[in-house]
Amino acid sequence: MPLPFPRRPPELLRVYYSSDVVAEFDTTGSPSGRKPREVSDALRRQLWPIEFIAPEPAEVLDLCRVHDPDFVADVLELRRRNGFGSVSQVVARSLPYTTGACIGAALTALTDGIAASLTSGFHHAGPRGPRGFCTFNGLMVASTRLLAEGRVMRLAIVDCDYHYGDGTQAIIEAKGLADQVLHVSFGQRFTAPHHAQAYLDEVHRLGDWLTAFGAQLVLYQAGADTHVDDPLGGLLTTAQMRERDRAIFTMARELRLPLAWNLAGGYQVEPDGSIPRVVQLHLNTFEEALEVWGLRAPAPARPEAPGRAERPELSSPEDTGVQTASFAAGQDRRR
């Protein structure tokens, strides 16, 4: 049964971010610890109707609905390595806030129709341990919080990171949530540029799957590592990534499905350590969301993220599809 949906767009896109989510120096191998700050800084330079909201930290109870309590305690108390492979107070201090940002965005989407969280590092984290730059699975923490509170009966996680959300799937199976959480992960069968058109074809079919499942909320991982030039990805051109985002935002609005999204992956790091191409790809996602929702204001012109030549004609793989649970087995202010 659909939830009440706003009759008109909110005046501002609410984005969950504060310096608490940033792990500036302790994320060797991935820029995702500092990426929230860089994307936030870039968004503040735009003339877009955005309100930044400082997230409340996730409670230990929230984390333990999804993860083994000993694992949670050991990471937070620096007795176990985090998803970056380090034992770090900087990372441990940020984790309740990165997860809390995901919860906050999901709750706000239920009232506003759309919201965002400037966080990453979720979908590889499983019930008992971290993996692949992911420590706690904020997607599943947010999902189980909303389910436990009766705010939704069913929801969908649409994971468009380049990599498969193995931790998300493991939690769904371990907790027996397949009837309540639809997991659609594009990060397994679509792995090369010649798969791009098949990938986009599946994106355009998402609405049918979510309707059949009865989803009342979408949590969207808008990964930038699907870009064709990403060293840990490499699939879609910049224009195709815009098409992906635009299609998903349009689908959710037309179906009156609240949607909250987060940044997910993106690893195009310059020699000096900066990530301007990754930041630009995330800005493109925001621009598509604002356009679909009619939340527009004049903004300075910006170049597209540089990349290899666009590929207008791409062949489909013989075996297409997506790996899913059902189909395959803040002006900062506190809120």
Asked whether 226 and 188 are in contact (CB, 8 A), the reply is no
Which pLDDT score, from 0 to 100, does residue 31 have?
A: 80
As a whole number, mean pLDDT of residues 263-273 equals: 88
Look at residue 29 in the predicted model and tell me its pLDDT: 64
* pLDDT at residue 33, rounded to an integer: 79
- Alpha-carbon Rg for the chain in angstroms: 18
- What is the pLDDT at residue 240? 96
What tens digit of pLDDT does each residue of 33-42 get?
789 999 999 9
**Would you say 80 and 87 are in contact if contact means Cβ atoms under 8 Å apart?**
yes
Mean pLDDT of 209-218: 97
CA distance 154 to 176: 13
- For strand 181-185 and strand 323-324, is the pairing parallel, antiparallel, or unpaired? antiparallel
Cβ–Cβ under 8 Å, residues 295 and 153: no
**Under CATH, which number does the domain 13-324 receive?**
3.40.800.20
Question: Are 144 and 61 within 8 A, CB to CB?
Answer: no
pLDDT band for position 25 (50/70/90)? low
Cα separation of 295 and 229, whole Å?
Answer: 30
Buried-exposed string 225-234: b where 16+ CB fall within 10 A, e elsewhere: bbbbebeebb
CA distance 97 to 94: 5
DSSP code at position 54: B
Q: Is the pLDDT of residue 170 over 80?
A: yes
| Structure-token match 């990938």, residue found | 199
In terms of Cβ atoms closer than 10 Å to its own Cβ (0-12, 13-18, 19+), residue 207 is: middle
Beta pairing class for 50-53 and 13-16: parallel
**pLDDT exceeds 50 at position 304:** no
**Residue 163 vs residue 305, higher pLDDT:** 163
